[in-house]
Structure 1
Amino acid sequence: MTGLYLVEPVVAIYAFASFMVYPLAQQYVYRRVWQDLTNTTFSVVNVSGCATNETNNSRKYEEVERAASLFSLYNELFSLIPCLAVTLLLVAYSDYRGRRISLLLPLVGSIVYTVSFLAISFFELSLNLIIVANVISTLFGSWGTLLGGCFSYIADVSKDGKQKTQRMAGIEMVIGLFSGAASITAGYFLRATGFNWPLLTCSLLHFANLLYVVFVLEETVKVPEPADLQQGLPRFPLLKLVSSVFRLFASVNLRRNAILVLLLLAFTIFCYCNIGTTSVVILYELNEPLCWSEILIGYGSALSTTSFLTSFMGVFVLSYCLPNLAIVLIGLLSITTGLVMTALARTTVLMFLVRVPMVLAVMPAPVLRSMMSQIASKSEQGALFACVAFMEMLSTSVAFITFSGIYAATVAWFPGFCFLVAAGLCLIPMALIGAVGFLGSSKATVTEPLISEEETDSQSVTPPIN
């Protein structure tokens, strides 16, 4: 049987299963914390708006909100270091042992997590076991590891820079479509069957995805023979991986290094602002005065994920008439406006309307990835996306921790404060993109290549500054 070179199904199934588990996990923790703190059964709200505005009821919500957000903080904190280390090593290691290893292990970790979560829910075990399960699963890799492997895979099979940008933007679109479908499904599935059946379904989806990677997906990196391994890599494997990452930033072309660092920093801060705030969005929607039900949360999450589709369309259309840097700036303005509106949203209608200015909020991610990839040679793609995945996981993990802490500290007097903080931080990547534009506008752009000549024989490289 001939294998396929389509990594998009892996992302689609993983996104659907993961984005179904994520809101389930937050709501499960919220309900368990509610029961522990109030000694009462959590009552499902069927419509938006709080049932009562009594002072005692408001205090209950604030206590539960604070405890749930702190639980999320501890969950991310304990899994941060193993997650970062495994992501960096696995994606870089895929340069030597093939891309599929960076896809297989995160799927194994996801199966471990969902099965453990199912056992905790079914037997009503201690909530702290969720943290334990999360730490164990991150030892196999995580969402960032799988995405790093997927983008490296796409860099291997893409013929030129244009195809690379389109397929990377397509990955973002696939994430949006299937995560949106999962968000809607999770709300109805939870209301109809409780937590156990959705968790079982997610476990089966991850297992089916694992079978696809093992038996269908073709490898793009030639794995060395055992005799070759004995002569080279195995003697100092960790040192080899570290040196490959070091060489990525040790180029003699200082302008190329500066542009790469600026792009990587802009991407990191963008992820911090864009993805980090998702750690408190559901808590914000559960809190007064919104008090959303699981159905409204599902619709809200699904509507948010449509930005992946509209951002893909934006990249596809705008790339014909605007330079890459302008596309990134438009995306940053989109997310900044949406975050400000989120901080001020006090009604269900306004909370839904928040998604309108954020229709292009995902555009910076694929464009920045493509720009970085186009100034790295083929031999550096694994190291590059290892660094990108590492920085993405670091920024999002730190963002989850910091925003959960900020939300817990400010929920009593201004629940939307953390969204204003994120909006202000979006000004930093805007300034970095301006610096990249300044470097790219110099005469050196025309006379000095950003990439070594070895790459021009195998692909047509499009400079990222246009």
Structure 2
Amino acid sequence: MPFPLPKLLSALRHVWPVIVLEELGSSLFDTALQMVVLDRSANATDPSTHDRQQQIEMTNFYMVYNLITKFIPILPALLLARLGDRGWRRLPVIVPLVGYLVSRVALLAVVFFALPIQLMYGAAVLFGLSGGYAAYWPGVMTLASLASTASERSKALSRVELLYGMAGLVGSLASGHLFMLYTSSLGRGIILLIISTLVAVLCLLHAALLLQVTEVSSSEEEESYGLIPPAVQSEVPVQRNLINIVLLYTAAILYSSSVGGAINVLGAFVLKEPLSWSAQQVGYGNAAGCLIFLTSYLGVIGLRRYVSDPTLIMIGMLSFTSGIYFMSFVTATYMFYLARSLNLFALIPLPTIRSLLSQQVPKSSYGMTLTVLQLVLKLAAAAYIPTSTKIYQNTLDWFPGFVFMLSSVFSVLAMIPISIVGCRSQEKRQYETIQGD
């Protein structure tokens, strides 16, 4: 049987390899940064108040670092989105990858030359000026949306999340072991960061040289609507679309704040007593988080034929709510994995919300709509990053898991606008059925 070279070349020109390579490198980088921050915080603390002060030093670093990476990209991401909607579809993907590469090189320099960890604030600024995640992820989602029909979009965007998660799973499992590798000339973490940097270089070259834009034809788009006549498809009231967009944005903000607030302190939480994780355990813990991408994808594939998109989102939000509430009471490693096991479908909501949003606007507005959503989520981070950090620091002595309990409350609140969208969608389907008859 001849080797299917044309199919291989076609797959290489799609956005999937970029997603895999970028997240593989990022998962290696995340573990390295977490352990480097831990080491530097340990050296900067007073031995008499070591554990508490170390937690404060770590969370303060991540608070500043995350705020920089959330806010600096706002204007560059808007510019890249505008250029993307004007035909430069690859630009919102390629430019941020340059920023990812700069971050890898900066951390490598910090470890290799024993530079201050605060140098990473400068790297975060450069990363933000490239558009960062705020430009990269909507750019990826836009390319995936253009290559799929409306009826298959939830599945296509969930596939993006699946590839992202599987690459993160592999990288996370390997990252802790790679961090511990060293030679007489190379200290701990150097080998891990060299590999992460090389993967970032390969990803950038692939996006610049091989990535192509694929769009479904109008005939394929029409076929995806099934029995609904084209005349009915175009008669979507503008006001109803706008209301749905506002509701979807609100749900995304609440849910992202819930998830982001919890994840913001989870890295520090697992490094303190009684868990006190090592580098390998950090990698395994990150891998458990990445495994949720797989279970969420399988959830979409298994449930989408039986339930609507709003119901799928509600299931995902309920999954996260139960898991993060249980995380509030975790005092042992096995309890951490039990809590994570309840988050099986926690990654369904945001890609499904993006899918619903893309169905409220024409193709020419995909990039801007998804980028505005990403930037709104960045603005929400201005509230939840410092808030969750300070709450965690102030409750360290009596209830470190309080911030996780608070996150579960916000996740429940996010279900309200989604339930309204579900009701409105049901009314719309009934109206279209009557018109079709």
Question: Post-superposition shift, 1:446?
Answer: 4.2
Which letter does structure 2 place at the counterpart of 1:25?
L
Distance 1:377 1:81 in 2: 28
Distance 1:89 1:397 in 2: 21
1:162 corresponds in structure 2 to: 151
Match of residue 192, structure 1, among 181, 185, 194: 181
Distance 1:80 1:327 in 2: 28
SS in 2 for 1:124: coil
Question: Post-superposition shift, 1:99?
Answer: 1.5
Match of residue 129, structure 2, among 128, 134, 139: 139
1:204 corresponds in structure 2 to: 198
SS in 1 for 2:246: helix
Distance 1:324 1:80 in 2: 28
Match of residue 54, structure 2, among 64, 73, 85: 64
Paired residues for 1:78-97 under 5 Å: 78-97=68-87
Q: Does residue 394 in structure 1 map to residue 379 in structure 2?
A: yes
Q: Does residue 291 in structure 1 map to residue 285 in structure 2?
A: no
Which letter does structure 1 place at the counterpart of 2:25?
A
2:168 corresponds in structure 1 to: 179
Question: Post-superposition shift, 1:78?
Answer: 3.4
Distance 2:379 2:199 in 1: 27
2:322 corresponds in structure 1 to: 337
Q: Does residue 130 in structure 1 map to residue 120 in structure 2?
A: yes
Q: Does residue 150 in structure 1 map to residue 140 in structure 2?
A: yes
Question: Post-superposition shift, 1:196?
Answer: 1.4
Question: Post-superposition shift, 1:445?
Answer: 5.0
Distance 1:432 1:113 in 2: 37
Match of residue 326, structure 1, among 300, 311, 323: 311
Question: Post-superposition shift, 1:363?
Answer: 1.1
Distance 2:422 2:262 in 1: 28
Paired residues for 1:158-307 under 5 Å: 158=148, 160-193=149-182, 194-220=188-214, 253-307=238-292
1:45 corresponds in structure 2 to: none
Contact 1:70 1:408 in 2 (8 A): no
Question: Post-superposition shift, 1:413?
Answer: 2.1
Contact 2:319 2:344 in 1 (8 A): yes
Distance 1:273 1:86 in 2: 26
Between the two structures, name the one with larger relative contact order (CA 8 Å, sep ≥ 6): 1
Contact 2:71 2:128 in 1 (8 A): no
Which runs of no fewer than 5 residues in structure 2 stay unpaired?
Answer: 1-5, 183-187, 216-235
Quickly say closer, same or farther: Cα 1:27–1:131, change in 2 above 3 A: same
SS in 1 for 2:270: helix
Per the normalisation by structure 2, the TM-score is: 0.87
Distance 2:67 2:303 in 1: 39
Question: Post-superposition shift, 1:374?
Answer: 1.5
1:428 corresponds in structure 2 to: 413
Distance 2:384 2:193 in 1: 26
Quickly say closer, same or farther: Cα 1:81–1:349, change in 2 above 3 A: closer
Distance 2:381 2:151 in 1: 28
Distance 2:304 2:432 in 1: 24
Question: Post-superposition shift, 1:152?
Answer: 0.8
Which runs of no fewer than 5 residues in structure 1 stay unpaired?
Answer: 40-55, 222-250, 450-466
Quickly say closer, same or farther: Cα 1:111–1:422, change in 2 above 3 A: same
Percent identity among equivalent residues?
Answer: 26
Contact 1:183 1:299 in 2 (8 A): yes
Contact 2:67 2:381 in 1 (8 A): no
Question: Post-superposition shift, 1:177?
Answer: 0.8
Quickly say closer, same or farther: Cα 1:85–1:276, change in 2 above 3 A: farther
Contact 1:16 1:181 in 2 (8 A): yes
Distance 2:19 2:79 in 1: 20
Question: Post-superposition shift, 1:148?
Answer: 0.5
Distance 2:335 2:319 in 1: 16
SS in 2 for 1:208: helix
SS in 1 for 2:274: coil
Match of residue 393, structure 2, among 381, 397, 408: 408
Per the normalisation by structure 1, the TM-score is: 0.81
Question: Post-superposition shift, 1:132?
Answer: 1.1
Distance 1:168 1:149 in 2: 12
Question: Post-superposition shift, 1:79?
Answer: 3.8
Quickly say closer, same or farther: Cα 1:210–1:397, change in 2 above 3 A: farther
Question: Post-superposition shift, 1:11?
Answer: 0.9
Question: Post-superposition shift, 1:407?
Answer: 1.6
Distance 1:397 1:199 in 2: 29
What is the RMSD computed on CA atoms of the aligned residues?
Answer: 2.1
SS in 2 for 1:292: coil
Quickly say closer, same or farther: Cα 1:396–1:180, change in 2 above 3 A: farther
